[in-house]
Each structure stands twice: as C-alpha cells, then as structure tokens.
Amino acid sequence: MKHIIHYLVIAIRLALGILFIYAGIQKFKPAAPKPETTQETTIKAQATEVPENVVKIRAYIGGLKQTGFFWPMLGVAEITCGLLLISQVLALLGAVMLIPLTLNIFLFEVFLGGGNVGEIITHGLYFVGNILLLVHGYPRLKVAFLTTDNQFQKIIQV
C-alpha cells in the first residue's frame, strides 16, 4: 500500500508540475493578432450580447494584464512552482507555494466561470491534488508550523 501511495504522490507532483510549467509559459506568449474587422462583422458583434460572466472575466484578466507586471509575475510563479514539484526534492515547497494559485484558479472558476461543471471539477481536482501533496508532507510541515515554546527555546539555545 505504501508503494501505491508513493507512486500516486509522484504522479500528482509530475502532473501538477507539468501543468503549471505549461500555464506559466503561456503567460509570456504574445497575444494572437486580432482579425481585421469589417463593418459587417462589427454590426454582428454589436447585435450579439455578451454574457455577464464573460464581461467579468474580461475585466478581471484585463486588469491583471494592464498592470504590466502581475501577469508575467504570475507566469514566473507558476513555472517556479512547477519546477519545484517536478524536482521531487523540493516538491513540498512547491506544493506550499502553489496553494494560493490553485485556490484562486478554483474560486475563479466557481464564481466567474460559466457554470461549466466539467471545468469546476477539473480545477477542483488541481486544488485537491495540491492539498493531498500537503497532507502527504504533513510530518515535515508540522515541524515548521506546530512547535511549542520549549522546542523553540531548544532551537535558540543550540
């Protein structure tokens, strides 16, 4: 049973690592050029009403991109976390750093997505996989977060 859990943890690390490296690289790709618009396509676009969630998504992502630094920083963070997860040695650090990103992606899909159940489940699995990595690494994490005053005094005296 321990071998199965070990291989499952490695598979989750690799899957999340590759996923976030790919997503991070996509943040640096230039936007696709907009097709030339004609008067006819402009009239059709004006006649088509855009759903409210799409307007919110465009405003949110547009705001992130317009800062000029947040979108590339997000890409660097995703690539860094992905590389840490793939390294296996620093995977726990990568999983800790990835928690805010996976939580944000999941909540983004829940509240701003189109209500597509498949997308919500997919992004929920990213978050759950990340939580499972933290649960697996809990024995190493508790040393950092759950120390008593006596343990802290022993560390300082050494």
Q: Residue 79: name the closest of 25, 123, 133 by CA.
A: 25
By percentage, how much of the chain surpasses pLDDT 70?
Answer: 84
Model pTM score: 0.79
Helices within the chain (DSSP H only): 2-26, 39-47, 52-66, 70-87, 91-112, 117-136, 138-145, 149-157
What single string gives the DSSP state of each residue in 63-93?
HHHHTSSHHHHHHHHHHHHHHHHHHSSSHHH
pLDDT at 158 over 90: no
CA atoms of 79 and 69, how far apart (whole Å): 16
pLDDT at position 106, please? Answer: 94
pLDDT at position 6, please? Answer: 93
CA atoms of 69 and 92, how far apart (whole Å): 27
pLDDT at position 55, please? Answer: 85
pLDDT at 78 over 70: yes
CA atoms of 67 and 64, how far apart (whole Å): 6
Predicted confidence (pLDDT) per residue in 42-64, tens digit = 566 555 777 787 888 888 888 88
Predicted confidence (pLDDT) per residue in 84-121, tens digit = 999 989 999 999 999 999 999 999 999 888 778 999 99
